[in-house]
Structure 1
């Protein structure tokens, strides 16, 4: 049984190198399954052409869709000729992230693969990029592809929050590790657990003279280390592949990923939306821009897509 039987890959006609498609082909070759090559297209001028009837506008939309289908057909022809199960899906939609999520809800894809660009930090705080929306709202795992290769015998990182006692974190840790090990098995890679823990709060050290920051740090580190060790034992992961470091996840994860030359980081994302997302953001999103390897984002078991129809 393959890890992902029904995969959606999002294409990008604005770039020459279709790295998401290349990665999706690699995955399908490794594990089989069906691959849907997906593209969302839209031209606002077609909607505003008042001189045309509704029927004529629809005819123009269909012509654009047909043109894009032919482009994808040419892109995938040699892979289909080699026997890979690839279907083509082009939709007319003004919001690409909604088109992707609706496709997942309609056709029950169990993985979305998408190329990602580096995001300008300031712009990201004002305009949420498509892949951030997909991360927050897509009910299935999302693989955001960068340029790092997938070498056999490499390293895959499972980013865990082992020190938390909250049920949703405990459950998400289990899902993240399971997905990381699944990928590691497929790629003959090693699974590493990485856990970041917060340093001493400066305000406490200043306000409470008797507070001992060294003791606090030592206690925190041991608490997180013990929790990571317990997780490693549960999944039969070598203790040498456990990494517990002080700092924020967005600092620690890229540092260890670079040190290990990891090909993938698997991370849990709670899918925060609305005002809290705009102000706080999600750890997964902060991490993605600072990694030069793929990121597999996994949702909690009880995640409810905000675009899901009642």
Structure 2
């Protein structure tokens, strides 16, 4: 089973070591997939050169694009590209995430592979980086690459939400699990499922002294275990690889990923825009900061990217 067919790799313009390219080439070899290398560049000073005619500015911009294409060619000399179908694209765009999504749409890529780096302080809240835009708006799978290796016979952790009240929860759970199994099959790894559920609200115990908190927690845990087991049965995932834990997903998922030494965490992400996206983010955005392995983000089947060609 092939993991992917058409890979879009986002290059780091200022780095010689390309984590995303390394990962994409690994994927391409085991899946016989094609690779497109994308570099989005922009220099505002070129647009401000009012003394030059439009044709001269275009010539300067084209020269810079050609320089970056030559840089990519030099970069590839350090890699074993034998038997790989690799193309490259350098685009001039002032919003990198839009360039990435537009390229993914135009090329019908089924996955975007990008290295991710730590975002310190409040930077990722006040100024949303490209990673977050891709998690919210990309039309296909997004693989954010960290330092953890992909050993064979490792573990892929799929985070799902059971006991959802809406049909789209079941659909997204299936898409997450299917993606996890595809990658696990390619990597000769095993899939583990995790479902985090909230504990008893503290306010209930305070306001209703006779409320049996222990019984409530037990009932909730049992409900989630049953729901997870039913979901796992559809995909032939054994009980030993099913994990139901009390707590917030952004706490439970990184904890279990570390315990399992997972090579990949797979979870669903829904698009958000506006002020709520800037301040709240979603589970994927909280999790990626805390795990030391790669994250694969899966969109609902009905998702349409707000970035259009």
Q: TM-score, normalised by structure 1?
A: 0.97
- Residue 107 of structure 1 and its aligned partner are, at CA, apart by 1.3
Aligned with 1:143: secondary structure? strand
Quick check: 2:3–2:27 contact (8 Å CA) kept in 1?
no
Is the contact between residue 16 and residue 75 of structure 2 (CA under 8 Å) also seen in structure 1?
Answer: no
| Aligned counterpart, 2:302 | 302
Q: Distance in 2 between matches of 1:64 and 1:17?
A: 21
Is the CA contact 1:73–1:88 (under 8 Å) kept in the aligned structure 2? Answer: no
2:106 counterpart residue number = 106
* Higher deviation after alignment, 208-217 or 245-254: 208-217
Q: Which residue of 1 aligns with 2:238?
A: 238
Aligned pair in 2 of structure 1 residues 81, 17: CA closer, same or farther (>3 Å)?
closer
Q: Give the Cα–Cα distance (whole angstroms) in 1 for the partners of residues 291 and 279 of structure 2.
A: 22
> For residue 207 of structure 1, what is the aligned residue in structure 2?
207
> Which digits, 9 at most, give the CA deviation of each residue in 1:4-35, with x for residues without a partner?
11110000022231000000011111111210
TM superposition shift of 1:182:
0.2
Aligned to 2:216: 216
Partner of 1:168: 168
8 A contact 2:27–2:33 mirrored in 1: no
Structure 2 length normalisation: TM-score? 0.97
Deviation string 1:55-101 (CA, Å, 9 cap, x unpaired) is 01111111111011111112224657512100000000011001001
Residue equivalent to 2:155: 155
Match of 1:46 in 2: 46
Q: Is the 8 A contact 2:11 2:39 kept in 1?
A: yes
Aligned twin of 1:128:
128
Structure 2 residues not aligned, in runs of 5+: none
Distance 1:81 1:18, change over 3 A: closer
Moved more, 160-169 or 28-37: 160-169
Q: 1:135 to 1:81 in 2, by over 3 A?
A: closer
Root mean square deviation, CA, Å: 1.3
Q: Which residue number corresponds to residue 91 of structure 2?
A: 91
Change in Cα spacing, 1:81 to 1:245, as seen in structure 2 (3 Å) is: closer
More off after superposition, 44-53 vs 14-23: 14-23
Deviations 1:199-218 (A, max 9, x none): 11112222222322111111
Which structure 1 segments of 5+ residues have no match? Answer: none
In 2: Cα distance, 1:63 partner to 1:204 partner: 66
